[in-house]
Amino acid sequence: MLFSLVAETFLDLEKTSSRLETTAKLAGLFRKVSGSEAKQTIYFLQGIVAPPYHGVDLGVAEKLCEQAIMKASGCKPAEVTQLYRKTGDLGEAARILLEKKSQQTLAKNKLTISKVYDNLYKTATSSGAGSQDRKIGLLSELLSHASPAEAKIITRFVAGTTRLGTGDATIIDALSYVYSAAEKKDASKAIARAYNLSSDLGSIAEKLAENGLKAVEGARPEPFNPVRPALAERLNSAEEIIAKLGPCKADGKYDGMRLQIHSDGKRVEIYSRKQEVVTHMFPDVAREVASWKKKIIFEGEAVGYKDGAFLSFQETIQRRRKHGIKKKSEDVPIRVYAFELLYLGGEDYTLKPYEERRKALEKSVGGKTVRIAEAVDCGTAGDLKKFFDECVSLGLEGVIAKDLEAPYVAGARKFAWIKLKKSYSEALADTVDAVVVGYYYGKGKRTKFGFGGLLAAVKAGQEYRTVAKIGTGFTEEQLDWFRKTLEKQKVKQKPANVDSLVEADEWVKPSLVVEVKADEITRSPVHTCAMKDKEGLALRFPRLVRIRVDKSPAQATTEKEVIQLFEKQRQST
């Protein structure tokens, strides 16, 4: 199938605001692609070349993109730079430059979906000596044979600035339109569950294209396919939680790294909440789990523990490194507190009620490094409040209350879990995980650091809408870290998928997540989050809590969640 079909659909989607229309147009596209093409098309929609746990990241710098455009179009560097500045969109600049060249070219080899995907995959996996030249060659080859519209889409994909407004839920609905035999709602549920248990929507689409809905019905967890994590809802008090759940069980909420640990009885792999393989960072954990010789998938929180006390999150994440792990393992001893069981001995535990999962977890997991997270039965608000106070006094973030009868709801935020954190006594009921889209130079005492603050946004579909300028909460070490890190991520223009009325000193590719605390959420004429009638929502007195290297932009707070927090804030004041 020709790639022009994908490019034309993507450009059409950019002009479509209705979710129903978007779903229908995607369904039309999916009806025309074969098995492997269906997988590749889904990856294009998601902005990836493979799921995170494959360890393949396109990661092409803006400068390399520009060089590929120059090579394909025969233009000079100044032409690319000027057009990019004028349009604010590297994809549009590529379209204009390739349009000029196409008028002078008589014949081209038409691009197929597979050819585009194969070149992009080779670009992502190219490494070592000469890899930069190989990447430029692979990309320029595509652009040389691309139509102007195709060049625009390919460049945006490589630059990470696609703006289609198509989240996973919309893609799943579109697939259900194509492959449902009866009720679309039932098909959507089956496809969503298969995705949530495998974290690979492309492979799900390929199975559907080859064998229909029956290929994904009855999906089960399997070792080494990370399950998309269940997420907790928020409430402001123990009384509200008990009113919602009735008698429940509460886990302590540890301030560490959430891990999902898989074993087939021999091999062990450990995944972060971003679904990246982090086994090499926790050799002590992997050795202990391997010694059990069990087929198991469970979740736990990795927390630094030394001299009888929990270490801070920032100390714990020092384990996230590729070199010197043995030394760092000694400096930062880890405990993993297991809190959920998803799979055991070939049996799917995600559909079992929490109480049953918990009992099986307690019988199956335990050792020197891996321990069971403490959980307490809470029949009243007083019980829950007492346990909450105990957890906070030990240095924990708070508690997670769990519905005793609820299954494990993979990939969704539901009231099966409800978190209560120590910050909830304030007007704003939770911290916000925001995505950095720009930064500011330092002034006054911060001049020497070359960094003074962040422009942060939340996700709305595939767009990022600003919610705060953050200038407080930084240590001197963090000021230096941000300067060095963001210097590598900066781009010449505001990314096409960033919606901002605020100017930054430097714009960056949205990739870094930070946790932000604020006094409250207020109306703002300058921030674009939930903007309506020239007023958006913004964080008042925002300050940095920590850098969330364990989270990807896809797992950051959404615009919808900010609106919900704002509504809860209004109800409590």
**Type of residue numbered 164:** L
Is 105 exposed, middle or buried, given 0-12, 13-18 or 19+ CB atoms closer than 10 A? exposed
Interatomic CA distance for residues 364 and 359, integer angstroms: 9
Long-range contacts of 153-156 (CB under 8 A, 24+ apart): 153/6, 153/7, 153/10, 153/11, 153/91, 154/7, 154/91, 154/94, 154/116, 154/120, 155/65, 155/69, 155/90, 155/91, 155/93, 155/94, 155/95, 156/89, 156/90, 156/91, 156/496
**Could you tell me the end-to-end alpha-carbon distance of the chain, in angstroms, rounded to an integer?**
57
Residue 98: partners with Cβ closer than 8 Å, 6 or more residues away: 69, 72, 73, 143, 146, 147, 148, 151
Residues 28, 125: contact at Cβ < 8 Å?
Answer: no
Instruction: Please name every residue paired with 232 in a beta bridge, in sequence order, or none if there are none.
Output: 414
Residue 88: partners with Cβ closer than 8 Å, 6 or more residues away: 493, 494, 496
Return the sign of the alpha-carbon dihedral for residues 368, 372, 373, 377: negative
3-state secondary structure of 182: coil
Q: CA separation (Å) from 151 to 90, 125, 142, 207, 227?
A: 10, 21, 8, 29, 35
Q: Which H, E and C letters describe 398-432, residue by residue?
A: EEEEECCCCCCCCCCEEEEEEEEEHHHHCCCCCCE
CA 106, 109, 110, 115: dihedral to nearest 10 degrees?
-150
422 given a catalytic annotation = no
178 DSSP 8-state letter: H
Size of the chain in residues: 573
How does 491-524 read in b/e, with b if 16+ C-beta sit within 10 Å?
bebbbbbbbbebebebbbbbebbbbbbbebbbeb
Return the sign of the alpha-carbon dihedral for residues 386, 389, 393, 396: positive
Among residues 196, 174, 201, 168, the alpha carbon closest in space to that of 187 is found at 174
Choosing from 135, 152, 253, 402, the catalytic residue is 253
DSSP assignment string, 252-320: EE-SSEEEEEEEESS-EEEEETT--B-GGG-HHHHHHHHHH--EEEEEEEEEEEETTEEPPHHHHGGG-
What value does the CA radius of gyration of the chain take, rounded to a whole number of Å? 24
Question: What crossing angle do the helices spanning 168-179 and 184-198 adopt, rounded to 10°?
Answer: 130
Q: Which residues are catalytic?
A: 253
